[in-house]
Structure 1
Amino acid sequence: MQAYLFVHFKEKRTPDGEQVYFGVSKDGFYWEEVNDGNPILWSYYGDKGVRDFTITRTKEGKFFILATDLSLSYGMLNQYQHSWDKISRNGSKCLVLWESDDLIHWSEQRMIKLGDEDFGCLWAPDLIYDKKNDDYVIHWSSSHSCNNYGEKGIYYSRTKDFVNFTEAKVLYRKEDSGVIDSAMYEEDGKYYLFLKSEKNPARIILMESENITGPFEKIEEFDNSMESLQSGQYEAPTAVKLEDGRWCLFLDFYGCSAEEQGYVPFIAEKMSTGRFMRSDKSFTFPYGYKHGTILTITMEEYESLKAYKKMPSEY
């Protein structure tokens, strides 16, 4: 029997919101807080805040968390001067990384520089294992000097050891708008890439490819599934394959006050169909989870996380 871990942050104006939080579930539907709803990890380097997490379990059994190096709590009042454009152009060229053998004991925070000076801020990393190359593809969104830091694209880098990383390359650009918040999954040998399209349409889209680095083609049926959603109100797609074989897609709803924001679930029999049905009534959350990723875990790991407590003096 499998369980689930949801790594996320909280939408708050205070710095404690932009840290690493865990939620767990036995079935992927009923979610519970970990550590009494307090942070698991705290960022002390870079912008001193982290958002937009991804987590993976490597084939050797190690766990890695990657995150955007960004604190709106600190930065908006200081170096970014209340300007999203300044963040986009001048934000961190690094992602934040932690590693663990057991989900309980974590390494010291590391800053990994994947963008050179032509990049703007590196946003919302995601990770996927490439069976053909026996390495890991890290992808993220960023603006770039090539178009004067205009519409964002998706870039990627490869690593085998999370120490050495290849030079960043373009994974996907959309001709008529920027794209952000990439999340990729494999099903039956094909790769499926969720993206937030910033316009045309201003909603989540789904792409597919025979290869992990593309080229990607749009799944039109998914657009039909999303038609009823208000444009420009959902972001940060993350999905998990449930134990019964169905896929659950979570979209982060932000068209409301910070206190009401959080994930909305959709269910599909298969990713390839593109047909996802909204399923709010089947799910419960202890509070609004913000931009994160779900990892399948064992019941033993679930029990360890449920029992986990971290004293304030341990941060």
Structure 2
Amino acid sequence: MLTYFRQRYPTRIEIDEDGNTVEVPLSDPMLEAKLHIALSTDGRHWFPLNANEPVWDQWMRDPYVRRGPDGVWRILTTGTTDGYNRDASGPGCFFASSKDLIHWNDERTLPLMEEVRDASGNFLANNIWAPEWFYDEENEEYILIWSSSFKDAGWKESRLWYSKTKDWKNFTPAKVFFEPPYSVIDGTLLKHENAYYLFHKEEEFGAKTGERRAIRLATSKKLEGPYQIVDGDLNDGQIVPVITEGPTIIEDPENSGWLLYYDYCMTNRYGASFSKDFLNWEILDDVHFPADARHGCVSKISSEEARTLINEYNISSSTDK
């Protein structure tokens, strides 16, 4: 199951040689920032439900949907129109839970950066982007990870932050999770054997750094780090082509290895790469995704659950819609 939202970007942000932000218009922009679902049997060919229209009329971006050890599905999303939520509790993200992926309950905003303030009590963070959660089996608790920046744009000098909870009601104060020597967003975690793999987007571009907006990898023996950056074989350390974001990873259902998904955010395409060892990645050509899919999350569901979703929303026979 692939959960995602849809977008064609209206502009491409560039930094000129003087450090000024320049927005270059892109053709045919659109935005459907609501929950979409697609299904696949091989992880490569995806068919959207509900004719690639939303399955829930709730504003959200970057929907991360996973099932907890208690069988409950929980969603975390960037929850406002511009990715910010500057209310009395500071920036927040959207949360909800479900037992069947159809009926969602307990909708609320989580002000995860509420306690991160300056000496005068002012909020330091301006945003919470692409929040995800990971279940820590050893300590029987959930760890929430997201990116935040203290600058005027969410991608500027951004760091990954985290908070922990056992009951989704009480959360530990936010702390920095990953602080590499570059701006970082879109972190996603995988545990394999005795190691943790942190896939993330390096978000650097401009006259000084060049075009460095793609997926990287860091690893650790401990969930809370520290994480060591892996030097990939592309683009001086990256592991997939430039201008990609929103990684999500699963064990390949067809072969012995792993599938890494991401979207080519400025060229309106979705893609996947295959690896046997997390280090060497092959871009897959024979893949099909729903049109305009952005920042997906892939989960394994049963055949019975798939039939329930198909009966509720129908399935499209084409990926062109």
Query: What is the TM-score with the length of structure 2 in the denominator?
Result: 0.78
Residue 235 of structure 1: which of 232, 237, 245 is its match? 245
Deviation at 1:224, TM superposition (A): 6.8
**In 2, are the aligned partners of 1:225 and 1:275 still within 8 Å (CA)?**
no
Q: Which residue of 1 aligns with 2:97?
A: 99
Deviation at 1:223, TM superposition (A): 4.2
Structure with more of its chain in strand, by fraction: 2
Q: Which residue of 2 aligns with 1:130?
A: 136
Unaligned stretches of 5+ in structure 2? 11-28, 115-122, 315-321
- Distance change in 2, residues 1:88/1:284 (3 Å): same
Q: Which residue of 2 aligns with 1:198?
A: 203
**In 2, are the aligned partners of 1:136 and 1:160 still within 8 Å (CA)?**
yes
Q: Which residue of 1 aligns with 2:298?
A: 294
Deviations 1:143-169 (A, max 9, x none): 137xx9951100001111222211111
Deviation at 1:194, TM superposition (A): 0.8
Q: Structure 1 runs of 4+ off > 3 angstroms?
A: 12-16, 87-92, 221-231
Deviation at 1:30, TM superposition (A): 1.3
Aligned residues: 276
Q: Which residue of 2 aligns with 1:46?
A: none
Query: What is the TM-score with the length of structure 1 in the denominator?
Result: 0.80
Q: What is the identity, as a one-letter code, of the residue corresponding to 1:253? A: Y
Q: Which residue of 1 aligns with 2:67?
A: 57
Q: What is the identity, as a one-letter code, of the residue corresponding to 1:290? A: R
Distance 1:264 1:226 in 2: 19
Distance 1:123 1:165 in 2: 18
Residue 226 of structure 2: which of 187, 212, 215 is its match? 215
**In 2, are the aligned partners of 1:89 and 1:149 still within 8 Å (CA)?**
no
Q: What is the identity, as a one-letter code, of the residue corresponding to 2:285? A: D
- Distance change in 2, residues 1:42/1:225 (3 Å): farther
- Distance change in 2, residues 1:286/1:134 (3 Å): same
Q: What is the identity, as a one-letter code, of the residue corresponding to 2:157? A: E
Higher mean alpha-carbon deviation, 284-293 vs 122-131, is at 284-293
Q: Which residue of 2 aligns with 1:33?
A: 48
- Distance change in 2, residues 1:127/1:229 (3 Å): closer
**In 1, are the aligned partners of 2:7 and 2:31 still within 8 Å (CA)?**
no
Distance 1:230 1:27 in 2: 23
Q: Which residue of 1 aligns with 2:21?
A: none
Q: Which residue of 2 aligns with 1:269?
A: 276
- Distance change in 2, residues 1:226/1:6 (3 Å): farther
- The answer to whether residue 2 in structure 2 is matched with residue 6 in structure 1 is yes
Distance 2:272 2:155 in 1: 33
**In 1, are the aligned partners of 2:265 and 2:294 still within 8 Å (CA)?**
no
**In 2, are the aligned partners of 1:225 and 1:277 still within 8 Å (CA)?**
no
- Distance change in 2, residues 1:207/1:227 (3 Å): closer
Structure with more of its chain in helix, by fraction: 1
3-state DSSP class of the match of 2:51?
helix
Q: What is the identity, as a one-letter code, of the residue corresponding to 1:180? A: I
Deviation at 1:228, TM superposition (A): 8.9
3-state DSSP class of the match of 1:11?
strand
RMSD value over aligned CA atoms? 2.7
**Sequence identity, in percent?**
28
- Distance change in 2, residues 1:210/1:230 (3 Å): closer
**In 2, are the aligned partners of 1:88 and 1:142 still within 8 Å (CA)?**
no
Deviation at 1:118, TM superposition (A): 2.0
